[in-house]
Amino acid sequence: MKVLRIILVLLGLLALLTVGIGFFGPSDMNVSHKKVMKAPLPAVWEQVVEFKNWPNWSPWAASDPEMKITYSKAGSRGVRRRLFVGRT
């Protein structure tokens, strides 16, 4: 019974710690990845503006082969286009 009480107290403290970090931790998070492409600027631009080229250089596409990519009906290039990423 004493062991169960210790386990419950530790779980409670862990929960309080998690909530405390959520309240007092940073509210913004930034994730970035840098990829160097040794190519002329127009060729790099084509890789970035066309969603269908993103799997060629995306680190996430390389790390998750089961990733499913779909594009909005408006197309895969230009303003107000969308890229949907999920798992199959």
pLDDT in tens, 5-57: 999 999 999 999 999 888 887 777 788 878 787 889 998 888 888 888 888 88
Token digits of residue 58: 């995306």
What span, in angstroms and rounded, lies between the C-alpha atoms of 61 and 78?
Answer: 21
Check if the beta carbon of residue 33 is closer than 8 Å to that of residue 59.
yes
Residue 30 domain-assigned (yes or no)? no
The answer to whether residue 7 sits within a structural domain is yes
Rounded CA separation 14/88 (Å): 34
- pLDDT computed for residue 88 by the predictor: 57
Looking at the domain assignment, is residue 63 inside a domain?
A: yes
- CA–CA dist 57, 6 (Å, integer): 50
Residue 6 lies in a domain: yes
Number of compact structural domains in the chain: 1
pTM: 0.47
Domain interval for residue 15: 2-25+35-87
